[in-house]
Amino acid sequence: MTDEDREHLLVHFQMTTQMVAEQVRGLSPAQLEYRASPDRWSIRECVSHLAVAEPDYWRDLMKAVKAPPNMQSEKSMVSDADIMWYGIDRVVHTKTGGGHEKVDTYKNLAEALGKFQTLRATMIEYIKSTHDDLRAHSFGDRERIDCWQWMLEISTHAERHIQQIREIKNDPGFPKS
């Protein structure tokens, strides 16, 4: 991994990890459980989703990195900018799957946030210290991307949910306390 790639991942992971914590700090139980509509998640459910999904994403990444490098003659099907855009584009709302919709796994925000932050600390340490060439390993079967892009997508996935939390907080019916 180049120094520039390492720095970009590191900064993005640190930013999104901190932003999740900042967005939920000091919220009341009513605010954490508020739903803008019955088919939307609450803030607690957004954080629970991150705590459920990211371990799977991390395991998938580690499996892909252990495989032989295969991107020397391949090219990623999307750009790094496309991956970044995924994190901020809330025009299209997508439904999750693969068991990651189990947002009631963590009924307690502190537990969900703790799980999220603990794994994030592991991922950040990996970014700081790895000698793995993430660009040399592919990830995914549908749209081939490299493992560096998958790591970025893990972080931008959290960014999507930070945006979702902000939307909830800006809803006219959001409790004042």
Q: What is the DSSP annotation of 48-93? A: HHHHHHHHHHHHHHHHHHHSPP--SS---SS-HHHHHHHHH--SS-
Give SS3 for 121. helix
Can you give the pLDDT at residue 38?
A: 92
Encoded tokens for 78: 């999307």
Average pLDDT (137-161) is: 92
Specify the CATH number for the domain of residue 12: 1.20.120.450
Distances (CA, A) of 86 to 54, 64, 76: 16, 21, 16
Can you give the pLDDT at residue 93?
A: 62
Encode pLDDT of 82-124 as tens digits: 998 877 776 666 666 555 466 777 889 999 999 999 999 999 9
Number of helices (H) and strands (E) in the chain: give both, helices first: 6, 2
Average pLDDT (22-47) is: 96
Within a domain: residue 52? yes
Helix axis angle, 43-66 to 3-24, nearest 10°: 160
Within a domain: residue 104? no
Checking if the pLDDT of 160 tops 60, the result is yes
Give me the number of domains the chain comprises: 1
Within a domain: residue 116? no
Can you give the pLDDT at residue 98?
A: 59
Within a domain: residue 175? no
Within a domain: residue 112? no
Within a domain: residue 118? no
Within a domain: residue 82? yes
| CA gap 80, 83 in Å, rounded | 5
Q: How long a stretch of residues is the chain?
A: 177
Within a domain: residue 100? no
Q: How far is CA 163 from the centre of its chain?
A: 12
In terms of residue numbers, what domain contains 87? 3-93+130-170
Residue 174 CB contacts under 8 Å (≥ 6 apart), including other chains: 31, 34, 36, 168
Q: Are 122 and 112 in contact (CB under 8 A)?
A: no
